[in-house]
Copies of this chain bind each other. A is one copy, B any other.
Amino acid sequence: MSSRLLDQLTSFGRKVDPVIIQALSRSSNSTFRPALEYHFKVGGGKRMRAALVMLSCAAAGGKLSDALAPAAVVELIHNYSLVMDDIIDHGEVRRGKPTVRAKMGDSVALLVGMFYREIIDDIVDECSSRDRIRRKSVEAMKEIIDGERLDLLFEQAGRVDPYLISNRVLDPDFRMYLDMIGKKTASLFRTAAIIGGYAAKADRKTIENLGEFGWKSGLAFQVMDDVLDVYGQSTGKETAKDVIEHKLGNAAILVALRHLPKAGRSELLSILRSEKVTKTMASKARALAARTPAEYECRTVAMEYLDEAKKHLDILDGSDYKRSLSQLADMVVLRTY
């Protein structure tokens, strides 16, 4: 993908930044503001979900400007979940910069996250279809929370939380994995596309198809994200971060486990189940996974979801926006940049 096309597509999403910054400023104390704005001002972040709202609206015949506040809602939901996830995962780096919690501390990061949640509601109030957008947003946030919970339950070690230890899932299968990433990731992609449809005042069938497009793009994105985590290629994160974090909720690891002979399987599991996974152990895990066709299979799964996703765009009339929306899905999933 050319960097010009990339710029063009992300430029749609970046339009939400001033909307979010303004909404944050409007009701915050001046000494709170630097903490609230930090996450948005350190740069980075492709605002893919915001672009998805805006392009879904425009491709369904709506005006881009009508999708601006709805796109800001979706992007802020995403960033709300990131700030909270970083607290849970003790994340130090995101988008190549210190996370809010690393920079400011856990306590204030938690308050920043909580404040984002209220500003989501303020921005919903600026949207024309606010009741529908609010219901969908709340639904998405519930799913994200439950998805994060499942992701934690699929971790094999490293946590002291009594709830997580007693409810840990020792052998999630691919169906359970899909349920988890559906909630954690794909639900917000679906919501983004649907909310774009609402902003365009599209008919029910169009909105349903946009939702499926978002949903399947989101599944494809997460499967590919998992592959990149295990097999490398920089995404601004540590490599094999999922292995270091004991996550069994990673497509590549799950598929690799299915292919490995008994000894390799035990070795990979015992790495994930070590209280402290060193970089050497993470490299060993990657080497084990590389002995299997897991990367190939996961890329195939992701490509299939991406193809299915794009078929749902058939219902839309041909337009530059429709083409951009399809390219956005490619970009989100293929990420060779």
Contacts and interface: CB of A to CB of B under 8 A. Distances in A.
A121 B138 contact: yes
B118 A161 contact: no
Q: Which of A107, A135, A159, A164 has the most CB of B within 10 A?
A: A107
A168 to B, nearest CB: 11
A296 interface: no
Interface in A231-287: none
A221 B164 CA distance: 37
A118 B138 contact: yes
B32 A105 contact: no
A157 B111 CA distance: 19
Contacts of A27: 142
A105 B148 contact: no
Contact of A163 (B28, B105, B121): B105
Please tell me how many copies of the chain the complex holds.
2
Which secondary structure characterizes the binding site on chain A? helix
Interface in A163-189: 163-164, 167
Contacts of A125: 135
B146 A28 contact: yes
A31 interface: yes
A146 B36 CA distance: 12
A114 B28 CA distance: 20
A32 B88 CA distance: 17
B105 A84 contact: no
A39 B326 CA distance: 46
A108 interface: yes
Closest 4 CB pairs of A and B: A105-B161, A104-B163, A108-B163, A88-B107
A149 interface: yes
Given A103-B163, A114-B117, A115-B142, 5 more contacts: A84-B110, A87-B110, A88-B106, A107-B164, A118-B142
